[in-house]
Amino acid sequence: MLSVSEILTWRLCATVVPNSQSIVHPAGPAAAEIAWLWWIMLIAFTGVFLLVIVLLICGIFGRSGALDRSESGPNESKATWRPWGSNGFIVAGGIVLPVLILTPLYFYSLTTSAGLRMPEEALRIRVAGHMWWWEVRYPGSEVVLANEIYIPVGRPVRLELTSTDVIHSFWVPRLNGKRDMIPGVENSFWIQADEAGIYRGQCGEYCGTQHANMAFEVIALRSEDFNAWMISQTEKTDESEVLAADRGLQVFLSVGCVQCHSIEGTQAAGNAGPDLTHLGSRRMIGGALLPNTRGNLSGWILDPQAIKPGIKMPRTYLDADDLQALVLYLETLQ
């Protein structure tokens, strides 16, 4: 059965695109509460708007009263409109109407707000904003991700938000509103997904050149899948695979990648850029900008400035063989 909000949503925009950041297509309890608030306000305020416009049009085009323009001098300006009547009109429209609408709205928003309080029991995830990518850590484990957050379905997730440089804002529209990430401050926030799926998020506070491409994905897995994923992340990489891609690792270590990036189990321990320990398993690269294909990864390594101009990662000069070896190696980092 279609709910009211689904019907309205359908009217507003026919379908949810796969990457949707739509506020009116909520996929979690918090976002759903806010979406409800929106629909209620939309209906009430459309009514107010129409009322004002109808009054305005009636007032202008309505039949002129005893005060006909051709005859009346300006001195009769108070002739037909008794002060009490006009006062009543202004009080009714300007004070009573807004109070009648705004008071319940205010209290309704308070209850919405109460519904948005962070649940006590929650999975903790730390997210740090960087210009222009997201660092994701799972306290209690060594898992470090970049630009993607794995969460279990149906379980609230408590986010501890910080920033290492300028102010960013954490925002996954289908799961909850946004919360700023301010250097020197730790803000907490929460999200929860009702269904397994991928939810796109994006920085909500202007943070410099590449603010537009500071995106990420929340990947909601069913509980058992999430646990399996967690175990796979904490497993040590198989030595033999490392050996197979040995040449790639050598390239990685020699051309300067290690200045900024780290890969667990190697000497690479830079911390200015995203941790690449699990790069191979990422869906997207560049801050949810490009699908993680061999071609895109190669292009990114060679000339990131062409794809995301202004970022800190410089161009890398590699010959074809080295590049191939490097990409092959990076793909093994599951």
Partner 1 sequence: MSESPESLDQSLALRKEAFNQTWNEPTGLFGQLATVDNFLIGMRFLVTSFSFFLVAGVFALLMRVQLARAENDFLGPEVYNRLFTMHGTVMMYLFAIPFQEGLAAMLLPWMLGARDLAYPRLTAFSYWIFLFSGLIFFSGFLFDAVADIGWFAYTPLSSPAFAGKGIDFWVVGLGAAEVAGVAAGAELTISILRLRAPGMSLDRMPLYAWAWLVTAVMIVFAFTTLFMATLLLELDHDLGTRFFNDQKGGNHLLWQQLFWFFGHPEVYIIFLPATGVVSVIVCTFSRRIIGYTWIVVAIVVTGFLSFGLWVHHMYTTGLPELSLYFFAGASLMIAIASGVQIFSWIASLWRQRPRLLTPLLFVLGFVFIFVLGGLTGVMVAVVPFDWQVHDTYFLVAHFHYVLIGGAVFPMLAGVYYWLPKFCGRMPSERLGQWSFWLTFVGFNVCFFPMHILGLLGMPRRVYTYPASLGLESLNLVATIGAFVLAAGFLLFVFNVLHAARFGREAAANPWGGDTLEWTLPSPPGFILYPRIPFVSGRHPLWEQETPPIAGESSRRITELLDHRPEHWRATILVDVLTGQPQALVRLAIPSHMPLLAASGVVLVTVATIAKLFLLVPVGVLISVAAIIVWLWPDRKELELQRTSTLPAETGLPIFTIGSRSLGWLGMCVLMAVLGWCVGTLLYTYFYLQLYSKEWPQGDLPMPEPIQAALVFGFVPCAAVACCAAWRGMSRTRRSPGLIGLAAGCFLLVLFLTMHMQLLNRLRFSPQTNAYGSVFFLLNWAMDMVVVIGLGLAASAVIRLWKEGEHWQMFLKLHVQMATHYCYFAAAVAVVIYATLYVSPFVF
Chain positions 261 to 300 lying near partner 1, rule: CB under 8 A, are: 289
**Is residue 94 part of the contact set for partner 1 (CB under 8 A)?**
yes
Count of alpha carbons within 13 angstroms of residue 22, beta-carbon side:
16
DSSP 233-289: HHSPPPHHHHHHTHHHHHHHHHTTGGGT-B-TTSS-B--SS---TTGGG-SEETTTT
The radius of gyration computed from the CA coordinates of the chain, to the nearest angstrom, equals: 28
Segment interacting with partner 1 (CB under 8 A) among 79-87, 249-257, 261-269, 274-282: 79-87
Q: How far is CA 119 from the centre of its chain?
A: 20
Residues 173-202 that bind partner 1 (CB under 8 A): 173, 176-180, 182-185, 187-188, 200, 202
- Indicate the Cα dihedral angle 174, 176, 180, 185, nearest 10°: -140
Residues 42, 23: Cα–Cα separation, whole Å: 14
- Take residue 240 and report the two structure tokens written for it: 């033999």
Contact 161, 129 (CB under 8 A): yes
Q: CB 4 → partner 1: shortest distance, Å?
A: 16
Residues 69, 92: Cα–Cα separation, whole Å: 27
Interface with partner 1 (CB under 8 A), residue total 91
Judged by CB under 8 A, the stretch of 170-178, 245-253, 258-266, 314-322 that binds partner 1 is: 170-178
User: How far apart are CB 291 and partner 1 at their closest, in Å?
Assistant: 11
Stretch that binds partner 1, among 105-113, 133-141, 217-225, 227-235 (CB under 8 A): 105-113
The token duo for 220 is 């909601």
Where in 131-150 is the site for partner 1 (CB under 8 A)?
A: none
Q: How far apart are CA 301 and CA 287, in angstroms?
A: 14
Figure out which of the listed residues 37, 145, 218, 263 binds partner 1, where binding follows CB under 8 A. 37
Please report, as residue ranges, which positions from 6 to 35 form the binding site for partner 1 (by CB under 8 A): 12-13, 17-24, 31, 33-34
Write out the binding residues for partner 1, residues 46-75 only, by CB under 8 A: 48-49, 52-53, 55-56, 59-65, 67, 69, 72, 74-75
> From the list 129, 152, 156, 204, which residue makes contact with partner 1 (rule: CB under 8 A)?
204
**86 sits near partner 1 (criterion: CB under 8 A):** yes
CB of 13 to partner 1, least distance (A): 7
